[in-house]
Amino acid sequence: MNKKNILFFTALKANDPNMMAYKEWSLKTWNYYAKKHNCELFILEEPLYDTEWMRPTWQRWYVYDLLEANGIEYDQIALIDIDTMVHWNTPDIFKLSNNQYTGVIDDLSIEWVYNSIQGYKKFFPDVELDWTKYINNGILILPRDGKEFCDKVKQFYLDNVDELRDLQHNSLKKGTDQTPVNYLALQHYGSNINNLSKKFNMTHMYKTHAFIDAIYTKCSYIWHFNGLPREQRDGLMRQTWEMIQNNYED
């Protein structure tokens, strides 16, 4: 069996009933990308655990267990949010990763990032996470030996589940896995972390006015429809697909 690079998506309805609608537009673009760059898609659609007890974002870290359980040989793995779309001419992200833990810096909401870092600091008293190096989990590439790191993420959740659930739902309310994973990645990989440009994860597009004249489709590779009311995502992603679909014809 040939090892392929894997594009791994989590599509559980847990907290977004609109996901089943907008994932169609996401996957239309990513299927094209997978064929172009000889990757394989894997979509987690059935929860491994109750999604109130473990949010879908935490469940994606079981990626290696899932691939191995399904007999899928893998090389590098990209964890990709289902509220993204990819430009038809996007380069092969696996060739740009240098077989390192790879992501895109997320510094558009300084208050959110800073306070999230502070809120989870208690778990990592000896790790100094700089907000200017904070990575968005919407596009992450794991190196070939990424299984050990994923095991650490899974164990961290299981060891701290009650406190993490309180922080996520009641007290801090600054994300789920993203900030702990930033800490864990820095702890595990140190300086061996690779960053791609913002073109590979254009987040919070309403804040940067990227929706004006559909600039996002002209100046970036991966469009992340986050930071929007969830009910607006399907409409915006559908409009995007209708505008650009001719570029994805074989």
Q: CA nearest 136: which of 94, 177, 97?
A: 177
pLDDT at 246 over 80: yes
Judged against a pLDDT cut of 90, whether residue 18 lies above it is answered with no
pLDDT of 1 reads 55
The H-or-E segment that residue 219 falls in is helix 216-219
Dihedral angle sign, alpha carbons of residues 244, 232, 22, 224: positive
Q: Determine what percent of the chain is predicted with pLDDT higher than 70.
A: 98
Q: H or E segment at 19?
A: helix 19-36
Q: What is the pLDDT of residue 6?
A: 98
What b/e sequence results for 189-213 when a residue is b if at least 16 CB atoms lie within 10 Å of its CB, and e otherwise?
A: eeeebeebebebbbbbbeeeebbee
Give pTM, 2 decimals.
0.96
Closest CA to 127 of 190, 58, 193: 190
Round to the nearest angstrom and report the end-to-end CA distance of the chain: 26
- What average pLDDT score do residues 120-125 get? 98
What is the C-alpha separation between 16 and 119, in angstroms, rounded? 25
Confidence grade of residue 19 (pLDDT, cut at 50, 70, 90):
confident
- Give the DSSP H/E element, type plus range, for residue 6: strand 4-10
Tokens for 196?
């791609």
Residue 163's CB is within 10 A of a number of other CB atoms, namely 13
**pLDDT tens digits, 191-221:** 999 999 999 999 999 999 999 999 999 999 9
Q: What is the mean pLDDT of the chain?
A: 95
